[in-house]
Structure 1
């Protein structure tokens, strides 16, 4: 057990890299919403009845692609940072119900009616999930200037909690960076910047539009069943890539890796700059551990993205099971 903890601690330190001194941290501030001082949705305001109708009218039928991962004991997660692993246990089993008779219906009834029940425990950022805008902030505030000392209680945030995230229906765009680079999986610590994104979009003959849900493939999902290798030195989005996507209309940005961005940070004074840039400064929700392998295999680069997350009140993330349907 001690050796295992040391391995995962080393993995986390490798992932984050050395922390820089916060020489510039006070200069970066949270963004204020153009949709008003009470806005909790950020760029999700770009999704309208008209935009939803537009993408749904382009559905061409055919295969529906499941973009979620399976949840199972031993799956990858943020346990190197001290967060709980995904845990599953049975609360009722057919034989146990016969022996314990928890509902007081009698042995004969329990032998006739088999009863199974289960429960789970996990960190909110486990498996395919979406980060709420309160997940990361700057200088004690989250997006739109909501301060932690006023809006964070013992039962979570009362602003921008996961329950505020509406069902997502928008054009989805896959940016297959490994394919554009001529590899199956991006090398460890590979940084996906503006140049790599432009190159991939050119290869795919695709342009971005305002309100897109942009999904970045690194290929690391091929290692999802092998927790240690999946977590080790992941490739991810660089600041220049995040800035390019925001400037070109991205409403939501997701990836197939654990933390979307690449580590260690190259921004002095901020160990996780892509997260704070997207969530805290621009109100762009983040999706992680999105399974993009089937889409990439079939070269489906644009699609109707449809997905809803659990309405976890006050939470900073929520699991979701999105699907992609090809569009004309």
Structure 2
């Protein structure tokens, strides 16, 4: 299937983010009433959990107060600190670039899978090709709808999305960022060995319904957006269909509990990936403006 290929031209590397134009930005900005700002990002530290095949975040101080206590020079009395971070790009709250997942040796828009090289990264569809995101967010709050977090392996289908949209009294449409609160991240609070093998999330039918509504991106408060474990014989089927076939980026690991407490189903969303050339994703700190 090549559902969105060539829709924005043979050289397009932005995918569904093309659906956010000036009209969508103005509509989103018009939602701002109180001016309250809410972060949707997890804090990042060496304690931020991640799947075992990824290294954790490592934080190093290059210059600190101890250097001066040990006799470090302070010309004119000036002192400073600085540090470095080593981390996987798919950790905490992050966005998947369109080069992150594919099948049959073809990326979104027909670009070759071997355009991603270990020596140089992705020459096509890297996160550096992703524009800043300013659009309307639609919050589908299943914790509120069900009165508790979804069961560990609950599969959110099309009918569930329709029910949640009706409860939020919202029509999902062009350029929207659909954010799904499953309660998974909240349920991991205090868990010392988080499992990344089971989580509630959307199924392929739900993913395709959203893509066909012309949404610009899909986010959730879980590890992979989609339900885990996968259906028999499948491996990341939602990633394959959304990223590779429709060019829809995925915003994973969102912190949605605080914004849900504001009882707003739509709001202005602002986010921007780090423009790391050839990278497959980026940590980011998305912000809701009410």
TM-score, normalised relative to structure 2: 0.93
Q: Which moved more, 1:315-324 or 1:45-54?
A: 45-54
> What does residue 86 of structure 1 align with?
57
> What does residue 199 of structure 1 align with?
163
Residue 49 (structure 1) aligned with residue 13 (structure 2): no
Larger helix share, 1 or 2: 1
Structure 1: distance between partners of 2:11 and 2:3: 14
Say how many residue pairs are matched.
Answer: 289
Q: Which moved more, 1:194-203 or 1:89-98?
A: 89-98
Structure 2: distance between partners of 1:179 and 1:71: 27
Structure 1: distance between partners of 2:181 and 2:45: 22
How far apart are residue 165 of structure 1 and its match?
0.8
1:222-270 residue CA offsets vs partner (Å, 9 max, x unmatched) = 13543524646221111121112112221100000111111121163x3
Residue 142 (structure 1) aligned with residue 113 (structure 2): no
Unmatched segments (≥5 aa) in structure 1: 1-27
Unmatched segments (≥5 aa) in structure 2: none
Runs of 4+ residues over 4 Å off in structure 1: 28-31
After superposition, residues 9-158 of structure 1 pair within 5 angstroms as: 32-78=5-51, 80=52, 82-99=53-70, 101=72, 106=73, 109=74, 112-150=77-115, 152=117, 154-158=119-123
> What does residue 17 of structure 1 align with?
none
Residue 222 (structure 1) aligned with residue 186 (structure 2): yes
After superposition, residues 248-287 of structure 1 pair within 5 angstroms as: 248-266=213-231, 268=233, 270-287=234-251
Aligned to 1:306, which of 270, 282, 290?
270
1:89-147 residue CA offsets vs partner (Å, 9 max, x unmatched) = 2121222245374xxxx3xx279443322111111101111110000011112101110
Is the 2:152–2:184 contact (alpha carbons within 8 Å) kept by the matching residues of 1?
no
How far apart are residue 148 of structure 1 and its match?
2.5
SS of structure 2 residue aligned to 1:141: coil
SS of structure 1 residue aligned to 2:218: strand
SS of structure 1 residue aligned to 2:70: helix
Aligned to 2:253, which of 284, 289, 293?
289
Structure 2: distance between partners of 1:153 and 1:95: 38
Is the 2:127–2:276 contact (alpha carbons within 8 Å) kept by the matching residues of 1?
yes
C-alpha change, 1:227 and 1:162, in structure 2 (3 Å) is farther
RMSD: 2.0
